[in-house]
Amino acid sequence: MASLRDIKGRIDSTKKTKQITKAMEMVSASKMSKAEQNAKAFVPYGEKIQEVVKSIAANNPDATHPMLEKREVKKTGYLVITSDRGLAGAYNSSVLRNLYQTIQSRHQSTDEYTVIAVGRMGFDFCRKRGIPVAKSILGLADQPNFSEIKELASETVQMYSDEEIDELNIFYNHYVSAISQQVTTTKLLPITDMETTGSTSEYEYEPNQEQILNVLLPQYAEALIYGALLDGKASEHAARMTAMRSATDNADELIGDLTLSYNRARQAAITQEITEIIGGVAALE
């Protein structure tokens, strides 16, 4: 049996760890509610731009733009949204596992795909496995604004326009609720889901619809990327909060077990001492 001092040491260190995980849980909880607000603030913009894009596409079925047209896929781009730091439970691993499986099942050589990594975990993962990373953005703020992601988003869209990649898929954790996040894969480019939504009004275009699409579609794609990022950030904080809560719970349990065995060891020591004293007295008589 471990000595009293050993057990005491372990109890102390577990208590300290618990303090840290508890603090991290609370920090993540407040960051999560902020991130949730950001994601909500983005919704009107996302919806509006989608509405306009759809109504233009619906009113002009003959509208053509490279971003609306499917072309033969020679190279696929994968945009992966992960966090910079770990300790977020299965947040990163589930997205990366999904990405890895997709790549394994769909491609034979590294010429056929490239990854655009958001977050250090995704970047390191790809580098270690020899997956080509075309672009990356590390050290993104917890509450990113649009200007921070703008450059990466527009460069990614540019890659598609330059035919460096022929389709773009995005992998991220969708925020369902504080305790549930879901790995989501969406095909971002070419833009395909242009079903008409019913209420559409005829627009005048100034100067003409082609020019409008030129401005609108890249902006739409950038908006989608930003939306996914905000969603991912909210999920990250939620995942970290859940992970830290269960770590705190585990620490509590461990402390309970250790305290029990500490008391047992203490009792055993006392009993032994008494037995020794009695034994000594008996020997004297």
Partner 1 sequence: MKTLTVSVVTPDGPVLEDDFEMVSCKAETGELGILPGHIPLVAPLTISAVRLKRNNGEEKLAINGGFMEVRPDKVTILAQSAELPTDINVERAKEAKSRAESRLQSKQDNIDFQRAELALKRALNRLDISQ
Interface with partner 1 by CB under 8 A: which residues?
38, 41-42, 44-46, 48-49, 52, 56, 145-147, 150, 201-207, 211-212, 215-216, 219, 223, 226
Amino acid at 95: V
Residue 240: count of CB within 10 angstroms of its CB: 24
- Our CB check for partner 1 shows the closer of 130 and 207 to be 207
- Our CB check for partner 1 shows the closer of 88 and 157 to be 157
Q: How far is the CB of 29 from partner 1 (least distance, A)?
A: 22
Q: How far is the CB of 226 from partner 1 (least distance, A)?
A: 5
Q: How far is the CB of 41 from partner 1 (least distance, A)?
A: 3
CA dihedral defined by 47, 117, 147, 141, rounded to 10 degrees? 100
Q: At a CB cut-off of 8 Å and minimum separation 6, what does 24 contact?
A: 87, 240, 244
> Residue-wise over 46-67: b if at least 16 C-beta within 10 A, else e?
beebbeebbbbbeeeeeeebeb
Instruction: Determine the Cα–Cα distance for residues 205 and 55; give it in Å rounded to an integer.
Output: 12
Q: Are 138 and 84 in contact (CB under 8 A)?
A: yes
Q: How far is the CB of 202 from partner 1 (least distance, A)?
A: 6
Q: How far is the CB of 66 from partner 1 (least distance, A)?
A: 18
- Our CB check for partner 1 shows the closer of 139 and 207 to be 207
- Our CB check for partner 1 shows the closer of 113 and 226 to be 226
Take residue 193 and report the two structure tokens written for it: 């889901």
- Our CB check for partner 1 shows the closer of 23 and 45 to be 45
